[in-house]
Amino acid sequence: MTTATASTAASVRTYRDYDRPLWQRLLLTREMAIIGLLVIVAVVATLSVRGFGQPITLTYLILDVTPILLIALPMTLIMITGEIDLSVASVVGLSSVLIGVLTQAGAPFELAIVVALVAGAIAGAVNGFLVTVVGLPSLAVTIGTLALYRGLAVGLLGTTAVTDFPEFWTDLAKMKLGGSNVPAVLLLFLVLLVVFVVLLHFTPFGRGIYAIGLSKTAARFSGVHVERTKLVLFVLSGTIAALAGVYYTLRFGSARGDNATGLELQVIAAVVLGGVSVFGGRGAIHGVIAGVLLIGILASALRLANVTSDVINIITGVLLVASVVSNSFLAWLRTKRRAPGGTARAKASAAG
């Protein structure tokens, strides 16, 4: 993780971007490449995989990717600031267990949901506190809280599962809009999507997020509240992970300590695929949505085509590596083409 060289590379790229005409800036981006790939995969899948285009498949697709879509929203913002939250899947498990434990104890279900969401917010605040106030690297902190929150979840329920939930709520999680096949949970996601798009792309807070990712020091000198911004993002991440936990529990009608184990890696893979740099400072919500959907549609279509989940794993991994390596490869090609004789700049960037 060579931070120094990467940040100069990022600033050079941004600078160069503004030399280009507007259409190039809009169309030749990482995000558009992923959206293009998404469209191609969707069309090919609809044409070649029997049953993929059917409404019921799309219903399940939406139900399946919803937790990842939800958690990816705050994760995008956190990663643009250059931090990461590996504890999200553990928060999903913890909120699921809290709902289970409270339901078992006979508490009203509405109360259980509120408690789960508050617990998620607290879990996020703990991450944020350790990262911003104590000043620890978020990768290490959230590996610790990944174990801690999962441990609390498993400790509270052991290996038992709570499966007895009010029908009203479990039906709500799977309810479809009107007579259509569109799950109602999509509305919840759309509302949050609008909130996050406005927050990131249309507010000073959002510009601050990019500024922090490009240079923390510069951001601070320009009046961005670096610590406060990060703290807010971690609280948001915890709360939404808990919300995803509520949904997960209701959808499968089962509260277990090991619910959603390993989901954090799927979320991060989707976010990175969608064009967010782990160095921070780069990324956009539309790319991330495309990244999540790309992985979701691939998995769903391949499963329908009787391809086993292992091949899906290989494809996910190779896609992830290829998508990040292709950027470096294209940059290398560009420097070669621009300076066939080998100017000083090309030599410098080749050596760098």
- Per CB under 8 A, the list member of 32, 118, 122, 148 interacting with other proteins is 148
Residue 344's identity, in one-letter code, is A
Q: Which of residues 221-280 bind other proteins (CB under 8 A)?
A: 257, 262, 265, 268-269, 272, 278-279
143 binds other proteins (CB under 8 A): yes
Closest to 161 in 3D by CA, of 113, 93, 106, 111: 93
State yes or no: residue 147 binds other proteins (CB under 8 A).
Answer: yes
Using CB under 8 A, pick the residue from 15, 180, 308, 340 that binds other proteins: 308
Q: How far is the CB of 301 from other proteins (least distance, A)?
A: 17
CA dihedral (236, 239, 245, 251) positive or negative? negative
Q: Pick from 12, 177, 321, 350: which binds other proteins (CB under 8 A)?
A: 321
Q: Which two tokens stand for residue 269?
A: 């893979």
108, 137, 204, 342: residue in contact with other proteins (rule CB under 8 A): 137
Among 50, 159, 179, 341, binds other proteins (CB under 8 A): 159
Between residues 32 and 315, which has the closer beta carbon with respect to other proteins?
Answer: 315
146 sits near other proteins (criterion: CB under 8 A): yes
| 8-state DSSP, 255 | B
DSSP 257: T
Q: Is 217 in the site for other proteins (CB under 8 A)?
A: no
Interface with other proteins includes 180 (CB under 8 A)?
A: no
- Cβ 298 to other proteins, closest distance in Å? 12
Q: Which of residues 323-352 bind other proteins (CB under 8 A)?
A: 324-325, 327-329, 352
Whether residue 246 contacts residue 237, with contact meaning beta carbons closer than 8 Å, is answered with no
Q: Does 310 interact with other proteins (rule: CB under 8 A)?
A: yes
Nearer to other proteins among residue 57 and residue 145 (C-beta):
145
- Residue 309 as a binder of other proteins (CB under 8 A): the answer is yes
- 178 counts as binding other proteins under rule CB under 8 A: no
Q: What's the DSSP call for residue 218? A: H
In contact, 66 and 265? CB cutoff 8 Å: no
Which of residues 187 and 321 has its CB atom nearest to other proteins in the complex?
321
Q: Can you state the angle between helices 263-273 and 88-104, rounded to 10 degrees?
A: 140
CB 54 within 8 A of CB 304: no
Instruction: Please report, in angstroms and rounded to a whole number, the separation of the first and last CA atoms in the chain.
Output: 14
Q: Nearest approach, Cβ of 69 to other proteins (angstroms)?
A: 19
Query: Which conformational region is residue 200 in: left (phi greater than 0), alpha (psi within -120 to 50 degrees), or beta?
Result: alpha
> Of 189, 164, 36, which is closest to residue 101 (Cα–Cα)?
164
Report the nearest approach of other proteins to the CB of residue 150 (Å).
5
Size of the site for other proteins (CB under 8 A): 58
Could you say whether residue 134 binds other proteins (CB under 8 A)? yes
CA distance 299 to 138: 30
Nearest to 285 by CA among 212, 194, 208: 194
The correct pick among 69, 154, 173, 242 for binding other proteins (CB under 8 A) is: 154
Minimum CB–partner distance for residue 316 and other proteins (Å): 5
User: With the C-alpha atoms ordered 314, 271, 221, 127, is the resulting torsion angle positive or negative?
Assistant: negative
Is 12 a binding residue for other proteins by CB under 8 A? The answer is: no
Q: For residue 335, what are the contacts with CB-CB under 8 A and spacing of at least 6? A: 345, 346, 349, 350
Say how far apart CA 209 and CA 272 lie, in whole Å.
17
CA distances from 243 to 61, 166, 262 (A): 19, 17, 17
Nearer to other proteins, 93 or 206 (CB): 93
**Which residues of the shown chain bind other proteins in the complex (CB under 8 A)?**
1-6, 9, 84, 130, 134-137, 139-141, 143-152, 154-155, 158-159, 257, 262, 265, 268-269, 272, 278-279, 308-321, 324-325, 327-329, 352
